[in-house]
């Protein structure tokens, strides 16, 4: 058996959680391979909405599905306890179905302080992080100072923890950060208490588990977080997250060899959104952008921050498809464009020196207002002006919308296999 991957092709929030939940019943295992509580994955079914952050989106699937938090993930025990306890209260037997890699790294309270201090230092040039301590935790991992989930089983954990905290405090002092020692002491106590709960889970070497599972004929769906344009290597650096969000991240984040990978589902919205700072070539600063935000409810699942909105960017999309080797596309949220007469799609950029390119460039600059220094060149397609949210079969979709899908497939060179027409699990069309 091969492991399939589902990941975002844009700047995150493409609808990964929804589609993992839809596909999960076809798999034996769902595994998160990177990111942490910076993610917010929304699932809707039976009139209820659930937002998952560190826990895989396979937890609601009926049947004996195992969910894995892989070694590539960074875990905050306090946020994990909150998320897990809510799921258990909803009747999900998480202790039975969840396995956590002992090699996943721990987000400490001082990582969050470092995240905030780093952003404060950058002033107007800040990344606009989620403030969850993601960057400092991955920095510690790479500089070989990190604490891992397996460390909490060590009798000397308190000493290991104190050494790491003290190192962070020295760094914070050098950054002239003001530390509320009372609040920190409270957060530390809460964090240490949450470790007790974390210890009650199956903490193991999940790389053995996933490889044996594949060898025994079981199937795996690897769930990405964030999106390709936020990847640490290929995203719009430095306005990125601190992990490899691309397909290669599933290999390192779970311990799977490239030869184990099967399909790569690349998920994207019919338009683009971005949260936080950084260049966004097709961003709309006008009423159309407002309209997309309002109809698409484009506000952060966790932070509630306004998402910046813009037209679909095929230059960035083709780049993402190339980097990930996407075999299947999943088109989300087209229903948001139901009332638009004309739909624009960016096919190339005019660079500041006047040359036109359809290859994503090394660096897209942007001014203080966030406006990118490349000019998008658009094709204009006729809108379908039909409510598509009730469609459950491809044959029920209007011709103009089917033409729009064919246009994307032609320009990207990969078939669209799933079309989502609303947030609910049921509002999904799987093409044959």
Binding site for ligand IMO (CB under 6 A): 8, 11-13, 35, 38-41, 127-130, 132, 134-135, 225-227, 230, 241-242, 275-276
| Residue 363: both structure tokens together | 């660096």
CB-based contact 287:29 (threshold 8 Å): no
| Residue 48: both structure tokens together | 């209820």
Catalytic residue among 4, 13, 115, 313: 13
Position closest to ligand IMO via CB: 276
For the CB of residue 279, give the shortest distance to ligand IMO in the complex, in Å. Answer: 11
Q: Pick between residue 6 and residue 164 the one whose CB is nearest to ligand IMO.
A: 6
| Residue 325: both structure tokens together | 């080797």
Catalytic residue among 21, 28, 41, 366: 41
**Sheet strands side by side (includes 29-32):** 202-204, 98-101, 66-69, 29-32, 220-223, 3-8, 261-269, 328-332, 416-420, 428-430
Q: Pick between residue 16 and residue 111 the one whose CB is nearest to ligand GDP.
A: 16
Position closest to ligand GDP via CB: 42
Q: Which residue has the tokens 């966790």?
A: 302
* Residue 134 interacts with, from ligand GDP, ligand IMO, Mg ion, none (CB under 5-8 Å by kind): ligand IMO
DSSP state letters, 93-148: -HHHHEEEETTSEEPPHHHHHHHHHHHHHHGGG-----SSSHHHHHHHHHTT---B
* Residue 128 interacts with, from Mg ion, ligand GDP, ligand IMO, none (CB under 5-8 Å by kind): ligand IMO
Nearest CA to 52 among 15, 25, 101?
15
> Given the rule CB under 6 A, which residues bind ligand GDP?
8, 12-18, 39-42, 44, 296-297, 301, 332-333, 335-336, 420-423
Has 50 been annotated as catalytic?
A: no
For the CB of residue 220, give the shortest distance to ligand IMO in the complex, in Å. Answer: 19
CA triplet 418, 421, 426: central angle to 5 degrees? 80
Q: Pick between residue 51 and residue 400 the one whose CB is nearest to Mg ion.
A: 51
Instruction: State the sign of the Cα–Cα–Cα–Cα dihedral 105, 110, 112, 117.
Output: negative
Q: Pick between residue 71 and residue 245 the one whose CB is nearest to ligand IMO.
A: 245
* Residue 335 interacts with, from ligand IMO, Mg ion, ligand GDP, none (CB under 5-8 Å by kind): ligand GDP
Has 154 been annotated as catalytic?
A: no
């Amino acid at each position: 058996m091969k492991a399939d991957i589902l990941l975002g092709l844009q700047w995150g929030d493409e609808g990964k959680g929804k589609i993992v939940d839809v596909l999960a019943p076809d798999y034996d295992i769902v595994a998160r391979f990177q990111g942490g509580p910076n993610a917010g994955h929304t699932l809707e079914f039976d009139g209820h909405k659930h937002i998952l952050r560190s826990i895989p989106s396979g937890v609601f699937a009926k049947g004996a599905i195992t969910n894995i938090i892989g070694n590539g993930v960074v875990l905050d025990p306090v946020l994990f306890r909150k998320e897990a306890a809510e799921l258990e209260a909803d009747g999900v037997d998480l202790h039975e179905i969840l396995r956590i890699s002992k090699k996943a790294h721990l987000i400490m309270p001082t990582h969050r302080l470092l995240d905030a201090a780093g952003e404060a230092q950058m002033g107007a040039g800040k990344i606009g992080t989620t403030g969850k301590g993601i960057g400092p935790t991955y920095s510690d991992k790479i500089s070989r100072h990190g604490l891992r989930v397996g460390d909490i089983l060590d009798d000397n954990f308190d000493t290991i923890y104190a050494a790491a905290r003290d190192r962070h405090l020295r760094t914070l002092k050098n950054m002239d950060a003001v530390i509320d020692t009372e609040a920190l002491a409270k957060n530390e106590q809460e964090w240490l208490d949450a470790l007790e709960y974390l210890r009650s889970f199956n903490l193991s070497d999940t790389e053995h588990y996933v490889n044996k599972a594949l060898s025994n004929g079981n199937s795996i769906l690897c769930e990405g977080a964030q999106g390709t344009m936020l990847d640490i290597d290929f995203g719009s650096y430095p306005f990125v997250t601190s992990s490899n969000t691309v397909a290669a991240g599933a290999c390192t984040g779970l311990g799977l060899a490239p030869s184990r990978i099967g399909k790569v589902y690349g998920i994207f919205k019919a338009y683009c959104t971005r949260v936080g700072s950084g260049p966004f070539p097709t961003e709309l600063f006008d009423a159309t952008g407002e309209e997309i935000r309002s109809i698409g409810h484009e506000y952060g699942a966790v932070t509630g921050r306004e998402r910046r909105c813009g037209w679909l960017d095929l230059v960035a999309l083709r780049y993402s498809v190339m980097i990930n080797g996407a075999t299947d596309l999943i088109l989300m949220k087209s229903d948001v464009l139901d009332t638009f007469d004309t739909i624009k799609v960016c096919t190339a950029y005019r660079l500041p020196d006047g040359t036109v390119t359809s290859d994503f460039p090394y660096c897209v600059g942007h001014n203080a207002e966030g406006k990118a220094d490349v000019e998008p060149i658009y094709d204009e397609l006729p809108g379908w002006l039909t409510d598509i949210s009730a469609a459950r079969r491809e044959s029920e979709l209007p011709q103009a919308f089917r033409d729009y899908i064919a246009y994307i497939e032609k320009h990207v060179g990969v078939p669209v296999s799933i079309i989502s027409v609303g947030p609910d699990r049921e509002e999904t069309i799987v093409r044959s």
